[in-house]
Every structure is written in C-alpha cells, then in structure tokens.
Structure 1
Amino acid sequence: MLTSLKTKISQKRAVWMQETQERIEQFAQFEQKRSLEELERSQSQQFILNQEVGRYLKTVHPTFLLKPEVHRALLNLLYARAEGRFSMSISMTEEMRKAYSFYHNELKIFITLLGRRGFQIEGQEELFLQTFLTKLRENNFRRLLDVYGDFIPEDALITEAFARYVDTVDASSKYESGHLDFFATYLNHKNIADFTWTKGRLKRKLKQFDKASREENKLKQLERKLQNIS
C-alpha cells in the first residue's frame, strides 16, 4: 500500500512537472510572439516615419530647429499636445518664435497627416523629433556642402578652420543655427582637433576669433598706413 501511494505521488509529481514545463514553454512562446509583434510594429512605425519625414523635409528647411534650446522647446510642445495642455515660453529669442510659429502653422498639420498614414506620435514624441532632426541635419549638411564646397584641408588646425569658415561663409549666416550645425559636423568629419564642443561654445569661440581677426586686420592696415608716412 505504501509502495502504491509513493507511486501515485511520483506520478502526480511527474504530471505537475510536465504541466509546469508546458506552461513555461507556452509563456516563452507567447513572449516570443509578443516581442516579434512589437518589433514588427516598431519597424513599421519607423519605416512610415522615415519615409514621411524625408518627403516632408523636401518641402521645408527649418534649420532654426537645430539649435538645442529650440528643439527642446519643440519637444515640450509635443508633450503638451499629447497631454492637452498649452506650453509657452515667456522670454523667446527670434529662433524660438520661429519654432513656435512653425509648430502651430505647419508641423501640427504634418503630425495629423502622419497619424492618417499610420504613425501615432503619442508616446513616441522623442522618436519623432530625433528622426526629424537627424534627417534635417543630413539635408542641411549636404545642402551647405554643395554651396561652399570642401574648403578646409584635412590637416588644418582649429584656428585655420575658423579662418576659412569666416572667409567662406556669408557674413550674415555664419552664426545661424543651420550654418553652425553644418560647421560642427564638418569639423567632426575632418577629425580636426578632437572637436567636441557644444554649439553654444562653438558660436562663442567663433565670435572671439572673428573679433580678434578684425582687430588684427585693423592693426595691419594701420601699420601699412604709417609705413607710407615719411
């Protein structure tokens, strides 16, 4: 009788173990299926986003969004949209005003169109903005490289790169966000002086260099004038 009881317990234990193993396998299969479905959904969303952003940025070129403070403000606008609240900065620069105007008059329409194409921005605001800025940055770099050409040699020092940038780029555009982003990317591509500055620091350094260069040019002009005086 004791032997029979032990046999039954062993059989039940074997059944329990088998059922447990089956549940583990079923759960693993479910998780694998869910992961694959999520991956497919994510890839589909990214494909739609890449395609539509690429098309849209053939119609607009909002380089003011490349300024870090500006695209952070835009991200706040996207979050505010999802939460149904209003986001507004009290003190706004010219580029910030452009960003707010662009968002309310143009980008919101594109976001609505994206939704109809299958990309829902809610919960994916950072993905949307990252994709948008990456494509904008690529377009901007190619566009300005076509305009100015390859004007810095491979072995240039940072001061020479600054001098060539100031001499090559339109004076009215050299501190504009799109041009600064282009120049920073260009310096990185050239591997010049282990360039790791922020855009803000790059702008400050450029202004310092530009000011010093102008003063040096004035000194040289004065020296030449004085040399001609007997």
Structure 2
Amino acid sequence: MLKAVKEKVAKQDSCRVERAAGRIENPVEKEKQTARFRNKEEEKWNHFLHQEIETYLYTIHPSFLLHPDAMRALHNRLLARSKGRRLVSLHVTSEVNLALDFYQSDLTFFLEYLEKKGFQLSGNEERLMKAMQNKLSENNYYIYFERFGDFAADAVTLEKALLDYLETAGSQNKYGSGRMDFLVKYLINKELLNPEVNHKKMRKLVKSLERRYAGSRKTGRPDREMSQIS
C-alpha cells in the first residue's frame, strides 16, 4: 500500500516537472515559429514585389531613377505618403524633377495596385525602392549592352575604355543616368573600375576626359593628364 502511494506521488511529481519543462520550452518554440512565419512572409512579399516590378518595368523604363538623387527624392516621397504628409521641393535637378513627376503620375497607380493586392507600403518603402532600383538597373544594363555592344573589348586601361565609350555613345545624352549606370557596371565587370566609384564620379571622369581629349586634338599634342584618371 505504502509503495503504491509513493509511486503515485512520484508519478505526479514527474508530471509536474514535465509540465513545467513544457512551459519553459513553449516560449522558445513559439519564438522559433514566429521567426519561421516572419521569414516565410518576407519571402512571399519579396517574390511578390519581384514579379510585379518585373511586369511593371516591362512597359516602362524610367532610367532617370538610377540617379541617386532621384531615387532618394522618390524614397522621401514614399515616406511622406505613408505618414500622410506632403513635401515641397525647391531647386531640384532635372533628374529629381522627372522623379517627382513620375511619382505623381505612373507610380501612384502602381502603388495603389500593390496595396489592393495586399502589400503594405508603410514600413516597406525602402524594400520597394531597392527592388525597383535593382530590376531597373538590370534591365538598363541589357538595354545598353544590346545597343552599344562590347564597345571596349580591347581596352586594357580605364582611359581607353572611356574614350571608346565617347566614340560609341555619340553626342546626345552621353551623360544620362541610364548610360552612366550602365557604364559603371560595364567597367566594373571589365575590372577597369573601382566598385566604389559612383555615378557622379563617373560623370566627372567622362566629362574631364572629353575636355582634355578635345584640347589635345586642337593642339596636336597628347595630354599628359589623361593618364592620371583612376
């Protein structure tokens, strides 16, 4: 009899220990489940954005958004939209002006479409901009590579590659945001350019080289400074 009572008490104690351990483990397991759910949601919306942006940019190519200032201005507009505020921009560049016009027209309809599909813009402004920038830059590279080809295939220096670009690009819009974005990526792929060089630096390099090259042709003498481009 006494033995049976002791066994019953021991069993009850064991059950209490198991329940207590379960209560300790449950929060950990719950946190893991929450993390898994969050990751699945992230993957779902990343895939959603990739698909929708790919379809959207198939019909339009706003290459001016590849200018860092334009993308920044658009990002600020999205943040203001989420907060129900309106921004007034003064003394804007041509690229920023194009970005603001784009926001007020084409992009507004696209944003409304995404929200109807269940995408929550508030808190995801940067994700949207990054996804759009990446896809736009990818499309832009293929567009200009098809147009210009491997124009600097034989270039072994940055200077030679930039001169090849000037000859290939022609006289119109050679410093456009789309062309500069393409040129930066093209030269990085050729291992002729430091990956840290941005659009503004590249534009300055090309303009500087063009001026010096024009000067050397007028005088009939080579310009020593051309070799200093890096």
Assess same fold via TM > 0.5.
Answer: yes
The residue type paired with residue 44 of structure 2 is S
Contact 1:48–1:117, Cα closer than 8 Å, also in 2: no
Residue 206 of structure 2: aligned partner: 206
Aligned-pair CA distance for 1:32: 1.9
How does the TM-score come out when normalised to structure 2?
0.86
Q: Report the Cα distance in structure 2 between the residues aligned to 1:132 and 1:207, rounded to whole angstroms.
A: 29
Residue 137 of structure 1: aligned partner: 137
CA deviation map 1:125-176 (0-9, x unaligned):
0000000000000000000000000011265201001100111113212110
Instruction: Indicate the larger mover: 194-203 or 176-185.
Output: 194-203
Residue 35 of structure 1: aligned partner: 35
Contact 2:148–2:168, Cα closer than 8 Å, also in 1: yes
Aligned-pair CA distance for 1:178: 0.5
Residue 183 of structure 1: aligned partner: 183
- The number of aligned residues is 215
Q: Report the Cα distance in structure 2 between the residues aligned to 1:84 and 1:115, rounded to whole angstroms.
A: 15
Residue 84 of structure 1: aligned partner: 84
* Aligned residue runs from structure 1 range 61-210, under 5 A: 61-153=61-153, 156-210=156-210
Q: Report the Cα distance in structure 2 between the residues aligned to 1:188 and 1:171, rounded to whole angstroms.
A: 24
Aligned-pair CA distance for 1:16: 5.9
Q: Residue 62 and residue 36 in structure 1: after superposition, are their counterparts in 2 closer, same or farther (change >3 A)? A: same
The residue type paired with residue 95 of structure 2 is E
Contact 2:137–2:181, Cα closer than 8 Å, also in 1: yes
Aligned-pair CA distance for 1:15: 6.2
The residue type paired with residue 94 of structure 1 is S
Q: Report the Cα distance in structure 2 between the residues aligned to 1:48 and 1:197, rounded to whole angstroms.
A: 32
Aligned-pair CA distance for 1:115: 1.2
Q: Report the Cα distance in structure 2 between the residues aligned to 1:145 and 1:68, rounded to whole angstroms.
A: 21
Aligned-pair CA distance for 1:55: 0.3
- For residue 88 of structure 2, give the secondary structure of its aligned residue in structure 1: coil
Aligned-pair CA distance for 1:64: 0.6
How does the TM-score come out when normalised to structure 1?
0.86
Q: Report the Cα distance in structure 1 between the residues aligned to 2:72 and 2:188, rounded to whole angstroms.
A: 23
Aligned-pair CA distance for 1:92: 0.8
Aligned-pair CA distance for 1:100: 0.5
CA deviation map 1:85-107 (0-9, x unaligned):
01122111111111110001110
Aligned-pair CA distance for 1:20: 3.2
Instruction: Could you tell me which runs of 5 or more consecutive residues in structure 1 were left unpaired when the two chains were aligned.
Output: 1-9, 222-230
Instruction: Indicate the larger mover: 72-81 or 188-197.
Output: 188-197
Task: Quote the sequence identity (%).
Answer: 29
Contact 1:181–1:199, Cα closer than 8 Å, also in 2: yes
Aligned-pair CA distance for 1:191: 0.8
How large is the Cα RMSD of the aligned pairs?
2.2
Contact 2:82–2:122, Cα closer than 8 Å, also in 1: yes
CA deviation map 1:37-85 (0-9, x unaligned):
1111111111111100000001111111111111011100000000000
The residue type paired with residue 168 of structure 1 is T
Q: Report the Cα distance in structure 2 between the residues aligned to 1:133 and 1:140, rounded to whole angstroms.
A: 10
Residue 3 of structure 1: aligned partner: none
